[in-house]
Amino acid sequence: MKAFTFERVKTNLQAAAAVARQPGAKFIAGGTNLLDLMKLEIETPSHLVDVNALGLDKVEATAEGGLRIGALVRNTDLATDQRVRRDYAVLARALLSGASGQLRNKATTAGNLLQRTRCAYFYDTAQACNKRTPGSGCSAIGGVTRLHAVIGHSSACIATHPSDMAVAMRVLDASVETVRPDGQSRTIPIADFHRLPGNTPHIDTVLERDELVTAVTLPKPPGGVHVYRKVRDRASYAFALISVAAVVQRDGSGRVALGGVAHKPWRVEASEAAMPGGSKELTAQLLAGAEPTHANAYKVPLVERTLASVLLQARS
C-alpha cells in the first residue's frame, strides 16, 4: 500500500474543501471497496478525508412522502429500516443479497453507489485495463468474458457495475444529492449518475472529484409487489451473473431494472409497456442491441427466464 496522509472533518464543506485542496485526495467512509483497492495499489490516494463524523447517517421522511437516506447510512441499517421494508421492499431485498453481514455493517449508501467494478482484469495489475490505466487497452476483450457486459459496453471496456443496491435505486427513481466546496449543491437523477464506458471507462460517475454525496432521496412509495432476484454462482457473497429489480402493479404494469448486464444499472423505461405481455417481449426491448460474447451469451436467455419467474411471482 502506498503511504498516505489522513484527516477527519466535521462538516460537509470542510470535507469537500479538503479533497479539493489536495490533488490525489479521496473521501473515505466504510472503506469496504477503497481499502481493498489501496492494498492492491489500484487506488493510490495521497490523502484520505474521513467523513464519518458528518452526521449523514439518518433515514428521514421527506415532505413529498418519500425518504431521504443519508450518505453514511450503513447497508444493514437501511435494509432493516421498517419504512424501507414496508414501502421499498425491493431495496431491502437488494441490500440483503449483497456481500456479507460483516461488510453490510460497514458499507455506506454512498460507498455502495460508488464502488468500482469487480472485473478480474481490473483487479489484476499485470493485465491491461482502460478503467485502471486509461489508454492501456482492455484485456477482457478477447479474454474470459463469462461475467462481463452484454449491452452498453464499448471497444474500451466491457466491465459490469457490481452493485445490487444501485439496481433497486434505479427502479425506484432515486436521486443523489451532492455538495461542492463552494457550497453549491445539486440533485442528480440516478438514471444520470452512472456513466457508460465510451472512451473514458475510468470515469464511473458524473461527480466532480471534490463533489461529496450527502444523501439519496426516494420519491413516494410506488406501491405494487416488489421483487429482487439475483442469479449467481453461489448462494452468498457473490456478484450477480444477472439480477432483476421489479415493481409490478395489480394490472401487470410496472418497472424493471437489470444488474450484471452493463456498465451501470440497466433500465429502459420505454420497454416497460411490454411488461403485461410477458418476459419474451420485455427482454427483447430491454436488451435490444445487445452484443454478447460467446462466453456470456447465456445472459440473454437467463434474463428472459428470470423475468418470467419474477413476473409470475409478482402476479401470484
pLDDT by residue (tens digit) across 62-99?
999 999 999 999 999 999 999 999 999 999 999 999 99
* Whole-number percent of the chain with pLDDT over 90: 99
How many angstroms separate the CA atoms of 208 and 72, rounded? Answer: 19
- Residue 69 one-letter amino acid: I
**Residue of 244, 227, 249, 215 whose CA lies nearest to 66:** 215
The answer to whether residues 261 and 277 touch, using CB atoms and an 8 Å cutoff, is: no
Indicate whether 141 pLDDT > 90: yes
How many angstroms separate the CA atoms of 305 and 227, rounded? Answer: 15
* Whole-number percent of the chain with pLDDT over 70: 100
Indicate whether 236 pLDDT > 90: no
Type and span of the H or E element at 283: helix 279-286
Q: Please, is 237 exposed, middle or buried when counting C-beta atoms within 10 Å of its C-beta (0-12, 13-18, 19+)? A: exposed
List, in order, residues 6 or more apart from 71 with CB less than 8 Å away.
29, 51, 54, 56, 108, 109, 110, 212, 213, 214, 215, 216
Render pLDDT for 30-59 as a digit per residue (tens, 0 to 9).
999 999 999 999 999 999 999 999 999 999
Alpha helix locations (H) across 61-100?
Answer: 75-80, 82-87, 89-96
The answer to whether residues 315 and 309 touch, using CB atoms and an 8 Å cutoff, is: no
Indicate whether 22 pLDDT > 90: yes
Per-residue pLDDT band for 21 (boundaries 50, 70, 90) equals very high
How many angstroms separate the CA atoms of 260 and 149, rounded? Answer: 7
Per-residue pLDDT band for 268 (boundaries 50, 70, 90) equals very high
The answer to whether residues 289 and 270 touch, using CB atoms and an 8 Å cutoff, is: no
Q: Please, is 209 exposed, middle or buried when counting C-beta atoms within 10 Å of its C-beta (0-12, 13-18, 19+)? A: exposed
**Cell 470515469 sits on residue:** 203
Pairing verdict, β 175-179 and 67-70: unpaired
Indicate whether 260 pLDDT > 90: yes
How many angstroms separate the CA atoms of 7 and 29, rounded? Answer: 12
Mean pLDDT over residues 129-147, rounded? 98
How many angstroms separate the CA atoms of 48 and 26, rounded? Answer: 5
Render pLDDT for 173-230 as a digit per residue (tens, 0 to 9).
999 999 999 999 999 999 999 999 999 999 999 999 999 999 999 999 999 999 999 9
